Chain A
């Protein structure tokens, strides 16, 4: 004999199981986490161009894929390095100050991972220091991934969704993607 209360109990159990399954499935889709992610070889850097204008026929460029840009752990490591290596001292949490903003659409020296890598390693003439020999390639690629997340260029399931410190901006995860444009205006004052 089955009492109404017992069948109600079973329905609740089924419902709970369904909810758990749905939660588990959605978690599976959250991020395709690979535990062996390798950064691109730094030798990809010769592919970097500063200008889209090429004399003669346009050649197809090598593109660099930064695996860390798909890896939430690497991006969070990038965020830690961003603060520890004092990137935040100049660019703050993306709004800029001494250096230009990193959360907007303006990219003076290019928004592609290889461009940002080159900017960090080589430095740029208007004040960006060269970190060559100070950071390992692996650390730089993590920074590259995090820097791109600041303007919403990474997938939402990879970008940081929380902040350990005082809230001063929207989370990288909920930052609307700012479609990169090459900025014509260098940050420096211009000579007459």
Chain B
């Protein structure tokens, strides 16, 4: 079956290559039949991904998460655990940009698309020619001032392909659509305002002709939102705020949250003091998933602002939580807060994997979320009920999640407060896991989670809201958690709810992961090693040293020559790598929101600079 899909994929690609661009330009989502999902079922595991659309076959990689279920699983099986040790460099491409490269390259037909961090250049590379020469580049010229409202390096997490266009966001809060064939701008829409502290770093997702975009700026006192733009014109379809009255949050008669603590009128106002909801954070800078069957999109919201919790008593809804919405209207169907009244900058924006898992003898439609607060959540994605929440890292801040009320059981003495230093807060602000996306294989049933092992000391300080400037009010100093290692790659069984294997890394694993039909997991390290592990045992099978640390998202695709390739952007930076990308001074432990203290040895381990690396078997 797997072989069949590979052949089908290859035929599709050949057809696409021989046809005009238009035929290549229409492979997306809805047109992929459910047979694409068959390999998982055929292998006899009850677990499967909810929807592989818009997978467009294994040959291509047209959205960063690979498919709507966000599994980042590739059905390509040429590179296997048995032969990956022979993997070698095929070609490279310098992006000319030296900040943190977090994006996933896209492959559509015989073209690869790469988005850089600010200034957000889009490159198109011709995969049909030797060495993949540049076809064109597009420069959106974002406002240079926008760099001043990017909390954690000027990153961009990638573009999406939809209906002949490459669509992505620029740091100065514009969404652009570019003709995938010519590189000419089709439309451009300003979605946010840097003078209110808003920027956009996330990769959009297109669902039913709507481009879904959210803002960044939880450290700048923004008011978070998710916006839908018409994919054809860029015109605003709807906007759903994270905070404020129900009419702004698009909470109406269809809203049925599972837990009583989330039920009530205008909780987005009443769970805040005064007008604090107007600058209370709750940005939408992470990942969005979509279940076509339930017609629901799922996404998380960022931390409330400021970090110092003393100035915002209450649950601070709907920050640090998750929403299920109707993509057509934006209406909320359910919501749940991972961290009501978050006190640790534990954003809830991580990837949400939509899986159908056998739980207690029945197949449940679930949403799996490895969260910053240190728990892997399994939620019923139709209702928002938490089925399980289990720790996957070292935690001193909470004792678990009360499944009856839905509330985490917090440890009060570990809560930061004004004018007092609280020590050994574990996990630190970036959590046990930050934005870096996991992958999931239907073959092993395992979730491959890239993450970190960090703790911190924190003191709350005076908070002053000045629009367009940071609104954090905390002094933080991070350091390695127990064991001394700062990064981990964990294989997690979401059904058995336990770690299957685990690899320690010196630095936080800030790159994404991809897992393939060849049972190989790829990820990169901040000191520049691109690694392949055995998906079943975690044994390292291969490694390659890149020019700069890796925080990008690896992808794999089938080249026009029928060979499987693996691609990843190197280029250290991001919050974890700001010490190198921003040339920061390690004598200040609080630099970069305290992350520098944990990364003092990174400048000796890597230098900055963005380069795309592409690998293949000989």
Instruction: List the interface of chain A (C-beta within 8 A of B).
Output: 83-86, 89-90, 92-101, 103-104, 106, 123, 125-129, 134, 165-166, 168-170, 185, 187-192
Contacts and interface: CB of A to CB of B under 8 A. Distances in A.
Contact of B584 (A95, A127, A165, A168): A95
A168 B477 contact: yes
Interface in B453-475: 457-459, 461-462, 464, 466, 468-472, 475
Contacts of B154: 188-189
A166 B474 CA distance: 10
Contacts of A125: 144-145
A87 to B, nearest CB: 8
Interface of B: 94-99, 116-119, 121, 139, 144-151, 154, 219, 419, 421, 457-459, 461-462, 464, 466, 468-472, 475, 477, 578, 582-593, 596-597
B592 A96 contact: yes
A126 B591 contact: no
A74 B608 CA distance: 39
B582 A165 contact: no
Given A83-B462, A89-B469, A90-B470, A95 B475 contact: no
A127 B457 contact: no
B585 A95 contact: yes
7 contacts: A100-B582, A125-B145, A127-B147, A165-B419, A166-B457, A166-B458, A168-B590
A126 B148 contact: yes
B219 A89 contact: yes
B470 A85 contact: no
Contacts of A123: 145
Contact of A97 (B98, B421, B582): B582
Can you list the 3 inter-chain pairs with the closest CB atoms, starting with the nearest? A89-B470, A95-B588, A127-B148
Contact of B591 (A86, A92, A129, A189): A92
Contacts of B583: 96, 100-101, 106, 185, 187
Contacts of A84: 462, 464
Given A96-B585, A98-B151, A190-B96, A85 B464 contact: yes
Contacts of A134: 466
Given A89-B469, A89-B471, A101-B585, A169 B590 contact: yes
Contacts of B150: 98, 127
B475 A166 contact: yes
Nearest to A84: B464
A83 B470 CA distance: 11
Q: Which of A93, A126, A166 has the most CB of B within 10 A?
A: A166
Given A92-B588, A96-B591, 5 more contacts: A90-B148, A96-B584, A129-B468, A166-B421, A190-B97
A192 B121 contact: yes
Nearest to A94: B588
A43 to B, nearest CB: 27
B118 to A, nearest CB: 6
Contacts of A106: 583
Contacts of B582: 96-97, 100, 187
A85 B146 contact: no
B190 to A, nearest CB: 18
A169 B219 contact: no
Contacts of B95: 192
Contacts of A96: 582-585, 588, 591-592
A168 B144 contact: no
B584 A101 contact: yes
Contacts of B419: 165
B584 A188 contact: no
